[in-house]
Structure 1
Amino acid sequence: DLKAQEVAGSRTRISWVKAAQRAEQLTARLKIRMKELEQKRCLTALAPKLVGKAVVVPAGLLSQLQGEKETPGTFARDTKQVEQLAMQAVLAAERAAGYVTRDVSADKCGYDIESRHPRTGRLRFIEVKGRSKGATTVTVTKNEILTGLNKPQDYFLALVEVDGTDTEITYLPSPFTQEPDFAATSVNYSIKELMSRCETAFETAD
């Protein structure tokens, strides 16, 4: 053993005194752990004790009960009716201006409408964003932003304010100035700021 080796004059990695102390410590820890495990085997579940309760009320319902006016959402893209009204309004406006339109919203190509000039064949790429009246922000996906940056001269963001069945379209050419962060999947823009830096443009195909 270590003690005998030290007495014989051999060099050891650890003294026999320290080795004995370490062994005693490990033995003591093992006994404590075994005792804890034995105690856990004897545990029994008791009946739950109620210490409190709460009622969860949706914020919208609470506002209605308090007589507060509901604030419009920042962007109404999750409302199918608003989406449809916005798309219909822009398609009708483009056709009335003489363009030949194609709805590509299902293709997820970074815009919703291809609008072609009947004589020159030049395409306008239009991303449609429907929003409730009074909304202050609009959400744009990373793909839509990158597409707009790749086609700055032909890309338009069409903001459609929807109030019931009434719609008002604002065209924003070249609406984006920089790429989103690498990890971003979408960006919220202030509608006021977007409109302040973009000139409203709408050309007919005459």
Structure 2
Amino acid sequence: MGRSECAWIDDGLLPEAEAYAAEQVAPQHLAEVREARMPALDKTEAAVKDRLTKEISYWDHRAEDLKLREKAGHANARLNSSEAAKRADQLQARLSQRLEELALERRIAAGTPELLGGLLVVPRGLLDKIGNHKSEPPVPPTDTQAIAARARRIVMEVERDMGFDPTDREFDKLGYDIESRVLKTGRLRFIEVKGRVEGAPSITVTRNERELHTILGLYVIP
């Protein structure tokens, strides 16, 4: 940009951003990951040691018992002492390997940060100055709930003027907005109310409302 206000925006921003990420962001993220990961690793290690140590102890004792039986001339046709000892050794090797894997998982380190993108926030006053014009103020978001509530109030006033007794049922999720009672007969009139922003070209009717159209009166309040 050829303006003095934007002179600081140049290629030097990239190394500055990378340095900030390496010095500030990465260490904080690393600490958060470690804090979340270490308790799970501790729990896994304790469970592995408990289970495999018990199995190793079982097969060690089994091997000794079989060895004594073999010396006494009572050999086991399906399992001998050597096979039992081999199973104990295999479990010991498995325990050592699993503990080494967990130790490697504990070595959590931060890599070199890689900048994928950036965001430049420009004050509106600066844009106005650069463009030599004044920006229009932002349009506030439309409060659809307030519009719908106002529409229901209007319809209920109309219903009362017509001699009916209306009740707002919007939050009862019955498929209609107003339940209006005919005082003479007690008959209920079910009314759907659609409030819309001034100038809106259309209204939206849900599938449930379409299915109930034969029993609903429909008011559209602009």
Given the two structures, how large is their TM-score scaled by the length of structure 2? Answer: 0.42
Structure with higher helix content: 2
**Structure of larger gyration radius:** 2
Structure with higher strand content: 1
Higher normalized contact order (CA 8 Å, seq sep 6+, divided by chain length): 1
